[in-house]
Amino acid sequence: MMDQLILDLPVRRAQGRADFLVTESNAEAVAWLDRWPDWPGHALCLYGPMSCGKSHLLHLWCARTNARRISPAQLDDASVPELAAVGAVALDDAEVGGEDGKAAEPLLHLYNLLRERGGYLLLAARQPPKQWHIPLADLRSRILAAPAVAIQAPDDPLLVAVMAKMFSDRQVRVGADVLSFLAARIERSFAAAERAVIQLDRASLSGQRPITVPLARAAMALE
């Protein structure tokens, strides 16, 4: 990483495919995924705001377990037997599946088949399961009985680390003061961090100037 920046953060290599930074904002969720297959049941719910890292965690879990990752639109009665045969399924945007009721019956069927065969179901959503619209009582009781783990919006140390990596990937040297300045002001999301990095990199290139706090303040209109 950059000479100017020393990050006191644990870094974990996830199944050799990616480095995943762990802080208080995501440590509980990571610990639960690490416990697989030693879960208390056959299902687990992850929830958190957009751009908090859910997709990254789902990708890593699927890579580790050879799970099939699907969206509610891919779940219907015909697909259930094939999915259950895989043995592990990750359903993203899980709360969307119950909005019109179309995915509720297939999801209940999938849950039951996976449980019968010793398989696993990972559900990811923005809201906690108790806030999902689940029209089937049996499905609702099963989902609410599963552990539900929150992923918080990225905290400052994680945002700093992520932006440092993004700048490093672009071969741009940025001081810790700039990263701290940005982390204290941008929205708590990886998407916002990426937008800030792109915007500052462009401002630096267009003006042929190093990225400093004054440039960051001027380019992003941050006070």
Confidence of residue 13 (pLDDT cuts 50, 70, 90): very low
Given a cut of 60, is residue 5 above it in pLDDT? no
- Average pLDDT for 208-213: 91
Distances (CA, A) of 50 to 8, 134, 191, 220: 26, 21, 9, 22
Query: Residue 166 corresponds to which tokens in the numbers above?
Result: 């993004």
Given a cut of 90, is residue 11 above it in pLDDT? no
Could you please state the CATH topology (level 3) that the domain comprising 153-220 is classified under: Helicase, Ruva Protein; domain 3 (1.10.8)
Task: Annotate the chain with three-state secondary structure.
Answer: CCCCCCCCCCEEEECCCEEEECCCCCHHHHHHHHHCCCCCCCEEEEECCCCCCHHHHHHHHHHHHCCEEECHHHCCCCCHHHHHHHCEEEECCHHHHHCCCCCHHHHHHHHHHHHHCCCEEEEEECCCHHHCCCCCHHHHHHHHHCCEEECCCCCHHHHHHHHHHHHHHCCCCCCHHHHHHHHCCCCCCHHHHHHHHHHHHHHHHHHCCCCCHHHHHHHHCCC
- Ranges of CATH 1.10.8.60 domains, the chain: 153-220
Q: What is the pLDDT of residue 162?
A: 87
Q: What is the pLDDT of residue 189?
A: 86
Query: What does the pLDDT look like over 123-155, one tens digit per residue?
Result: 999 999 999 989 899 999 999 999 999 998 888
Could you please state the CATH topology (level 3) that the domain comprising 26-150 is classified under: Rossmann fold (3.40.50)
Q: Global pTM?
A: 0.77
| Calpha distance 109→103 (Å, rounded) | 10
Given a cut of 50, is residue 17 above it in pLDDT? no
- Ranges of CATH 3.40.50.300 domains, the chain: 26-150
Positive or negative, the Cα torsion across 135, 137, 143, 148? positive
Query: What does the pLDDT look like over 51-80, one tens digit per residue?
Result: 788 888 999 999 999 999 999 999 999 999
| Calpha distance 32→30 (Å, rounded) | 5
Positive or negative, the Cα torsion across 89, 124, 141, 64? positive
